[in-house]
Homo-oligomer: A and B are copies of this chain.
Amino acid sequence: MSVHNDQTKAGAGRTIISVDAMGGDRGPAAVVAGISVSAKKNPDIGFVLHGPREELEKLVAKRKPLAGRVQIRDATDVVRMTDKPSQVMRHGKDTSMWSALESVRSGEADVCVSCGNTGALMALSMIRLRKLPGVNRPAIAILWPSRNPQGFNVMLDVGADIRADEQDLLQYALMGTSYARNGLHLERPRVGLLNVGTEEHKGRAELKAAHDLIADTAPKAGFDFVGFVEGGDIPGNRCDVIVTDGFTGNIALKTGEGTASLIGDQMKEAFKYSPLSRLAAVLAYTSLQRLKKKMDPRRVNGGVFLGLNGTVVKSHGSADATGVAAAVKLAFQLSQSGFGEKLAQRVASATALAKNAGTDEAESSD
């Protein structure tokens, strides 16, 4: 059984996911191990895998669940974590990242997954897939463990761009709402705008303008706007979607991750402290594993690029097989729900609404 012979059958009746095998901190072996986990769990996924053919063929051949499920596209070059996006845009044609996006652009794959350099991936996605009509700045949305019944909140932008004006923040509210509907199955998401206080007089000028704009749009676009929220509401239950610029969102995301990781490490140490606490750790093992799984960042691995013609899932650079499999799962779910088309419709109808301001249109329900 050779990978080559199976190539033509990889896509039969399956959702095809385009995967950049290179550029992650752990190399292609972790990526292939991850898609193998996904393939085993879900028979409805096929893969187009991008990177140096010879190396990938060897890795794929070792994984039984991947037999007949993978097409390989040879790409000799790799985008490194230290490469500047501008360089990659000019000289990146032979990279696995470029090739992975090309599969979505051509329509042979539904979604692209990459563990590579975020800035380069966003820059390439913008020039190859292009922005949706009506979207000025695309955004990266993530899921954040929260006190809400659905277990997660959506936050965007977490780093596609370092600035956002009021129109961009309104777009983020619309795109985040669409993601919460399709990714978290919330019919009427509650949106909050991140600020340093909940009083309306606080914060920067563009935030006050965005506050009024989003409040105006909410009833027409079928979401609830709860107004300004604070950092503590990101893992809270006051809203389901947190809207902010990519500078603030990126710092909030990494601060939260760092804090969670510090607490986790200190908990491990606490349980090692004495014979009694080591015994306790054994007895509490199942409960602690459940907690760990709940808070495990690998389980919600994957920032989604919103506002492009095509869906791109950015997996964590340090993702291992579990992390890659989680990103593939997210990509599959989004593809299944027809997320890309629904988001495009939502943005288009909002743009139309803005143009016909005053005439209340029926709510769209996606």
Contacts and interface: CB of A to CB of B under 8 A. Distances in A.
A270 B287 contact: yes
A283 B286 contact: no
Interface class of chain A by DSSP: helix
B262 A263 contact: no
A266 B295 contact: yes
Interface in A235-292: 235-236, 244, 246-248, 250-263, 265-267, 270-271, 273-274, 276-277, 279-284, 286-288, 290-291
Nearest to A232: B258
Contacts of A267: 267, 291
Interface residues of A, number: 64
A106 interface: no
Interface in A317-357: none
Nearest to A275: B283
Given A231-B251, A255-B231, A283 B287 contact: no
A274 B255 contact: no
> Which of A265, A277, A290 has its CB near the most chain B CB atoms (within 10 A)?
A277
B196 A250 contact: yes
Contact of A146 (B231, B246, B262, B274): B262
A162 B204 contact: yes
A230 to B, nearest CB: 5
Interface of A: 82, 84, 119, 145-147, 159, 162-163, 194, 196-197, 199, 201-204, 230-236, 244, 246-248, 250-263, 265-267, 270-271, 273-274, 276-277, 279-284, 286-288, 290-291, 294-295
Nearest to A291: B270
B196 A247 contact: yes
Given A263-B295, A277-B283, A252 B231 contact: yes
A252 B255 CA distance: 6
